Structure 1
């Protein structure tokens, strides 16, 4: 097995990053990691009880060499309608990533707490997406309709065909034409 070279300034930071990524994966987050762990993509599901529920987004996490002293940079690769997420780049605007980051935070905090809170409580007073902020200020219902539209257009989960469906498909493709024609059809 090839040795993974972690993109950090210290061995301690490298061990922390490996631990944090492994915890994220062990918790069930589908994660695609590059060779040096400088960047990875995480499948993120919208929190229950919100207009984002049922949607699935890919979030890119860019790790600074100084992690955990400095926070990662998050970017939604899947389009999302939110006042605190830039509409073209997908960059996330959260106070915790600008001013309140602590070395005690880890990737689990980001995906289990920070991002769900952001989607539950959009802040139209500190927007990156000014149009979403203006609509939220004007009409919460209209805002939710836009969220739902974006979710349907961009954030639908992949449909995984079950083994049962595959078996039915196989059986139906094995049928011959004579199996499909009934005796009643011969009377015509």
Structure 2
């Protein structure tokens, strides 16, 4: 990584760390590669009035060697039920991480990416999904989507509140069959919490 890239990344990290607004929003970063500043862990607090409220979502962020001429990469480490995030891999569908990134724009930076991801939690774009199953549920069965996304936030991101007892019971039933709780949550979510369909899907 060039000195230019390292200096740019260092500056952008300082901007995030020293900006009190980020702390207020519940956005923090931790440098995982002190030498090149190429690898970060970020934490984003789920925004209020959403199913993700007060969840703690961890992101893995990697800067390419030729940053800022190419966009950084970011994905969720914490599992999240969201139309624009893969429920399996954490890959994020966000235009500034792909074709909209422009080194000519002074506004495109680590700061922009972190704020945009938090905004995406508040304002999903199901018409341009990363996870088609989640997007379909969001558009056609919104109450079920909200219920599922809230449960995932509670279970995987430490969100507040008591978990839905019916969902917990269904997870236990499927886990007895497949012996993997995380997979049970995922397959139930993809099958609208139908236990029979979930078990049939796994065993088919």
The secondary structure found in structure 1 opposite 2:6 is helix
Aligned 1:155-174 pairs, distance under 5 A:
155-156=157-158
User: Any idea what SS the aligned residue of 1:110 has?
Assistant: helix
Contact residue 42 and residue 60 of structure 2 kept, 8 A: yes
Q: Which has the larger radius of gyration?
A: 1
Distance 1:142 1:66 in 2: 43
Change in CA separation of 1:155 and 1:134 when aligned onto 2, cut-off 3 Å? same
Task: Kindly report which structure 2 residues correspond to 1:42-121, keeping only aligned pairs within 5 A, or say none.
Answer: 42-103=42-103, 104=106, 105-112=108-115, 114-121=116-123
- Partner SS, residue 155 of structure 2: helix
Task: Specify every segment of 5 or more residues in structure 2 that has no aligned partner in the other structure, as ranges.
Answer: 161-204
Structure 1 residue 48: Cα displacement:
2.2
Deviations 1:55-84 (A, max 9, x none): 110011111111111111111001101111
Q: Secondary structure at the match of 2:7?
A: helix
Query: 1:124 maps to what in 2?
Result: 126
Q: TM-score, structure 1 length as denominator?
A: 0.73
C-alpha change, 1:31 and 1:157, in structure 2 (3 Å) is: farther
Shift of the alpha carbon at 1:157? 6.2
Normalization by structure 2: what TM-score? 0.68
| Structure 2 match to 1:17 | 9
1:142 maps onto 2:106 in alignment: no
- Measure the CA separation in 2 of the matches of 1:102 and 1:46: 27
SS in 1 for 2:68: coil
Q: Is the partner of 1:20 in helix, strand or coil?
A: helix
Identify the structure with the greater helix proportion. Answer: 2
Instruction: Indicate the residue corresponding to 1:177 in structure 2.
Output: none
Aligned length: 149
Distance 1:37 1:91 in 2: 21
Counterparts of 2:68 and 2:78 in 1: how far apart (Å)?
26
